[in-house]
A and B are shown apart, each in its own frame.
Chain A
Amino acid sequence: MFEGITRSLSEAFKKLRGRGRLTAENIREGLREVRRAFLEADVNFNVVTDFISRVEAKAVGQDVLARVDPSDQIIKIVFEELVGLMGPVDHKIPQRADRPVVLMLCGLQGSGKTTTAAKLALTLKGRGRKPLLAAADLQRPGAVEQLQTLGEQIAVPVYSENTTPVDVCRNAVAQAKRTLCDTVILDTAGRLQIDQELMDELKRIDKLVRPDECYLVVDAMIGQEAANVAKAFNDALELNACILTKLDGDARGGAAMSIKGVTGVPVKFVGMGEKVDKLEDFVPERMAGRIMGQGDLMGIVGKIADIQKEISAEEMERQQKALQEGKFTLDDFRKQFETIAKMGMKDMISRMPGMSDMIPEGEDPEEALKRVQGMIDAMTKKERADPDIIDQSRRRRIATGSGVEPHEVRQFLGQFDQVRMLMKQMSQMSLWQRLKMVTGLGKMGAFMPGGMDNLKLKGDTGHRKSAKERAEERKKKNKKKKR
């Protein structure tokens, strides 16, 4: 899969480190990398071209900061520009006292309108509103039934009749007034933006029902086509916002940038997963990281902060202290597992590019977690505090107790040993370094330019090296750099 652009950028900017200023000449190669990354993320070609020239204009003339990697400097500019382009976002949904608010969803076939309609209804419910779903997709077989089933699941009324889409929408609004619903969500049929007949139908609904807001539903996996689609729908309907779906996959979602760049329509919400759950607010900072292939760092930061609130402050302090002393026990490990499980393991993994490679082929991450938890549960208190005492006979007992093979227990203990070491090193890093590392686990090289060398921070080698040894080490390092 893709690697973040940080690495290719730092390659391109190596020569620049610590000297002079950024000029059009010396950043050209780096910007080419940025461009390639955007094109691979399916950002529209013309939008990329504009964007790159803006970044260039901003970067040229800046002094290369003495202690900062020039590639970081460029990434910062790119990141800020990206956030500026995709933001700001208003996550409010209008509300009126005198009549129900009407929200219309439209988009291509298969972009996820019906599922999104249900998710939007659930989101509104969560905000204390009373939504009504209108099944205006009379085109696709089974679409009405699908919305009815989903409506039942989330306990939201669904209005349907077998007439025309325009009538369904109009009567749904009347029904909402009668039943005191405050928001109507129109689920229209999927259509191609070049299908004149169907686009006219949308315009008719727009004219007769006068929706307060129109949302375009877009599949995050869409390619260059995003720009054409958004433009056509925006010309026909004047879109208020966009909802990006299927973001739980590994598509980089360049569409968010293409659509805003071409039409000025912002993304408002994102859909994650087929399960009917609330829509998530679109956060430009997260999306920027994702498009740049840096993983959803901001997303992880947010989630960790949420969970930290749940875990008591003392517990955190105790863990931190134990870490620093290198006394990380299996009990602590298990607690961390629970934390990860709370975050949703799959969720974590899908947010981190490269991470999915860590789980063995065909292995469900949650299953793997459960197995390890079982092993820890099968240990005595003493063993958990000091895993070094686990010998063959203890190992066998643990294996029987948790239903695994003895060699699996040994394997796990070996892995734990490594984790313990990592933990000790991590306790000496800044939060940012830690995050960088977490996202790189299992695929160290890709996310840590320079490889494992950066990992060792204050650790010592145990003995004082002689001049000869130091010279040899230097040679090795240089060789590595050259490669």
Chain B
Amino acid sequence: MVFGRIFSGIKRGLAKTAGVFGGVFDLLRGKGKVDQAFLDELEKQLYLADVGTQATATIVDRVRQAFRDKEISGEVLEFVKAQLRELLTGPSDGIVYAPSGPTVVMIAGVNGSGKTTSIAKLANRLQREGKKVLVAACDTFRAAAVEQLTVWATRIGCEIVKQGQNADPAAVAHDACEKAKARQFDVLIVDTAGRLHTQTNLMRELEKIHRIVAKQIPGAPHEVLLVLDASTGQNALTQAEQFGKSVKCSGIILSKLDGTAKGGAVFGIKQKLGLPVKYVGVGEQIDDLEPFDPDGFVQALFEKA
């Protein structure tokens, strides 16, 4: 039951657009032999889904070795799916909670990746699961970012810790930790300002927030989630690498998966850095955040619209 609902969520997100991977589907339905033309077409479809050089080469190579000059059959389709699936991890178990005290979830990402919206959805989701959620508005840099989160907090009815614009984000995080401990919140979600991973000083500011949180609550942050726009290309790898280096990311929220973008970059990220996807954003509504289900993800890529 649960699986069915989750699956349909991803499918709903991807359904509008299965066109691209639908190409592979048609390809695999075709007649003839697995020849160079077939492999070229497979490569093209993988590239068009942003799967990236390395992961694409891996898959095409394996198909070549396994099926060279054999007839195209359902087996090839299953094989490609299995290969894609193998590049991902097991199903996401969502947030890993602290054994006692508040669980701190820190959110990071580049500008415009969808951090604030994802936080609202995540907070809403966790509240529905019966958790008492607090959000910390540590994006004190961008104009009106605090207002944006405040609006969301009011809508979903969770509490928020904030200071004015240009306040020290680490100070806001500090206050939020105090409050979470004193008032026994289950989960504290820390929003941070968007920053490009090449901005050394901003990355250090992020590390500072990380340190402050760890000092306040031992073992925190329990999760550091990188928000990644599904339409991002190969730069996603560098993003994951750099953010991982500075704040030790534990997972990815893949946002905006309701467009035609496939988010194929996550294959490369998993392959190179081992970072798993935990949640996917599949729409603009507050409920449109689903735990990542790799089987459904791969399956949905091949669904016909």
A and B from one assembly? Answer: yes
B245 CB to nearest A CB, Å = 9
Please measure, in the bound complex, the distance between the C-alpha atom of A414 and the C-alpha atom of B292, giving whole angstroms. 53
B residues within 8 A CB of A228? Answer: 260
Asked if A150 contacts B259 (CB within 8 A), the reply is no
Residues from 47 to 99 in A contacting B, C-beta threshold 8 Å: none
B residues within 8 A CB of A145? Answer: 143-144, 147
Asked if B148 contacts A219 (CB within 8 A), the reply is no
Residues from 350 to 373 in A contacting B, C-beta threshold 8 Å: 350, 356, 359, 362-365
B25 within 8 A of A: no
B residues within 8 A CB of A364? Answer: 200-201, 204
Asked if A219 contacts B229 (CB within 8 A), the reply is yes
B residues within 8 A CB of A223? Answer: 50, 231-234, 236, 261, 264-265
Asked if A40 contacts B260 (CB within 8 A), the reply is no
B135 within 8 A of A: no
Asked if B112 contacts A248 (CB within 8 A), the reply is no
Chain A interface size, as a band, is: 35 or more
Asked if A112 contacts B112 (CB within 8 A), the reply is yes
Which of B41-49, B73-81, B170-178, B216-224 lies on the face that meets chain A? B41-49
Q: Which residue of A lies closest to B241 (CB)?
A: A1
B129 CB to nearest A CB, Å = 24
A149 within 8 A of B: yes
Asked if B229 contacts A146 (CB within 8 A), the reply is no
B207 CB to nearest A CB, Å = 8
A402 within 8 A of B: no
Residues from 210 to 246 in A contacting B, C-beta threshold 8 Å: 219, 221-226, 228-229, 246
Q: Which of A36, A140, A221 contacts B53 (CB 8 A)?
A: A36
A residues within 8 A CB of B144? Answer: 142-146, 148-149
Asked if B49 contacts A40 (CB within 8 A), the reply is no
B63 within 8 A of A: no
A45 within 8 A of B: yes
Q: Which residue of A lies closest to B152 (CB)?
A: A141
A residues within 8 A CB of B110? Answer: 221, 246, 249
Please measure, in the bound complex, the distance between the C-alpha atom of A50 and the C-alpha atom of B5, giving whole angstroms. 43
Q: Which residue of B lies closest to A276 (CB)?
A: B143
Say yes or no: A246-B147 contact (C-beta < 8 A), given A194-B259, A223-B50: no
Asked if B200 contacts A42 (CB within 8 A), the reply is no
Q: Which of A193, A225, A249 contacts B196 (CB 8 A)?
A: A249
A residues within 8 A CB of B151? Answer: 141-142
Q: Which of B142, B152, B165, B231 contacts A225 (CB 8 A)?
A: B231
A441 within 8 A of B: no
| Mask: chain B, 36-65; 1 = CB below 8 Å from A; 0 = not | 000000001001111011000000000000
Q: Which of B47, B112, B199, B200 contacts A224 (CB 8 A)?
A: B47
Asked if A109 contacts B142 (CB within 8 A), the reply is no
Q: Which residue of B lies closest to A108 (CB)?
A: B231
A11 within 8 A of B: no
| Mask: chain B, 183-211; 1 = CB below 8 Å from A; 0 = not | 00000000000101111110010010000
Q: Which residue of B lies closest to A274 (CB)?
A: B111
Please measure, in the bound complex, the distance between the C-alpha atom of A286 and the C-alpha atom of B44, giving whole angstroms. 28
Asked if A45 contacts B44 (CB within 8 A), the reply is yes
Q: Which of A40, A109, A144 contacts B112 (CB 8 A)?
A: A109
Asked if A225 contacts B143 (CB within 8 A), the reply is no
Please measure, in the bound complex, the distance between the C-alpha atom of A109 and the C-alpha atom of B230, giving whole angstroms. 12
Asked if A110 contacts B235 (CB within 8 A), the reply is no
B164 CB to nearest A CB, Å = 12
Asked if A224 contacts B198 (CB within 8 A), the reply is no
Please measure, in the bound complex, the distance between the C-alpha atom of A356 and the C-alpha atom of B207, giving whole angstroms. 18
Asked if B198 contacts A39 (CB within 8 A), the reply is no
Asked if A141 contacts B259 (CB within 8 A), the reply is no
Asked if A193 contacts B259 (CB within 8 A), the reply is yes
A111 within 8 A of B: yes
Asked if A225 contacts B148 (CB within 8 A), the reply is no
| Mask: chain A, 26-40; 1 = CB below 8 Å from B; 0 = not | 000000000010011
Residues from 97 to 149 in A contacting B, C-beta threshold 8 Å: 108-112, 140-149
Asked if B259 contacts A192 (CB within 8 A), the reply is yes
B residues within 8 A CB of A150? Answer: 143
| Given pairs A109-B256, A250-B238, A255-B233, 4 additional interface contacts (CB within 8 A) | A108-B231, A108-B256, A225-B50, A359-B200
Q: List 13 A-B contacts (CB under 8 A).
A: A42-B50, A45-B47, A111-B112, A141-B147, A143-B148, A221-B229, A221-B232, A221-B233, A223-B261, A229-B231, A274-B194, A364-B200, A365-B200
